[in-house]
Amino acid sequence: MSYCVNCGVELASGERKCPLCDTPVINPNAKGEEEGYRPYPKHVERVMRKVDRRFGVLLATLALLVPLVVTMAADMIIEKRLSWSLYVAGALLCIFTWFLLPFLSDRRRPYFSLVLDAFVLLVYLAIISYVTADMLWFLPLALPLVVVCGAAAFAVTAVSRSKARGLYKPAFIVLIISVLTVAVELILDFYIRRGEFTGWSLIVFLAGVIAFAALAVIEKKQKLKDQIMRRLFL
């Protein structure tokens, strides 16, 4: 005689599920079905998936080369030089680096990817600056903005992958974003207002510092943390 582990109803012999609550009936004495014969080892499947992924990246890369060749050929025929087709080349380079290149590696390298992505973005912006023959916005605006935002993303990634426990991770991320707002405003004010500091980012920075301190204190005081968790039903 057996009973359902969920609702306790008596089960007839041979029942595969409870007639009342549909809970599966598991008989520990029954022999499980043997796994079917595999004509090849499991690692072959992983190799095949890897090959298929690289083949897909190869096809996508060839698809990106088609508009690149067509636009460059048209540019040479019409303009007798490479001009507007460099926009397409830069955009395709960004697409390849940001969306296709990560599929070629099995290991995650977030720091290398961040540096490479920022570098490719700078290359694309430099191409735009070169084609338009205007470097006045690239050096004082685009370059420092990409570097500062890339550094912030690098720092956030480092904090996310660190062994910091509990609320310390979001606390440091909030602090990094607060510092980023000040840096962005300084760059914009230097480029637009010629060094006149407006100070709006200080409000964000102050709020971020307060949030950082509050999260750090809550994480340090376990009783306070438990009380807040209970009040928020977490």
Question: Is 133 in the same domain as 182?
Answer: no
The pLDDT assigned to 173 comes to 95
Cα–chain center distance at 44: 29
Do 87 and 133 sit in the same domain of this protein? yes
150 found inside a domain: no
Same domain assignment for residues 40 and 75: no
Residues of the chain with pLDDT under 70: 1, 27-51, 106, 233-234
Q: How many domains does the chain have?
A: 3
Task: Say how far apart CA 76 and CA 198 lie, in whole Å.
Answer: 47
Domain end call among 138, 154, 184: 138
What's the pLDDT at 120? 96
Q: In terms of residue numbers, what domain contains 205?
A: 162-233
208 domain residue, yes or no: yes
Q: Are residues 133 and 60 in the same domain?
A: yes
Domain membership of residue 152 (yes or no) is no
Q: How confident is the model at residue 33, as a pLDDT?
A: 45
58 lies in the same domain as 117:
yes
Residue 7 belongs to a domain: yes
Contact of 64 with 95, CB cutoff 8 Å: yes
Tell me what pLDDT residue 30 has.
56
- Report pTM: 0.70
Domain edge (last residue) among 138, 173, 192:
138
Whether residue 88 sits in one domain with residue 129: yes
Residues 190 and 226 in one domain: yes
CB proximity list for 227: less than 8 A, separation 6 or greater: none
In a domain, 132, yes or no: yes
Residue 227: which of 218, 62, 88, 100 has the closest Cα? 218
The answer to whether residue 209 is domain-embedded is yes
Do 65 and 36 share a structural domain?
no
Number of neighbours of residue 122 by Cβ within 10 angstroms: 16
Span 22-56, pLDDT tens digits = 888 876 665 544 444 455 555 555 555 555 778 88
pLDDT of residue 35: 47
What pLDDT score does 1 carry? 64
Q: So what's the pLDDT on residue 134?
A: 87
pLDDT of residue 36: 46
- To 5 degrees, how large is the angle CA 176–CA 181–CA 185? 150
113 C-beta neighbours (distance < 10 Å), count = 16
State whether 127 and 82 are in the same domain: yes
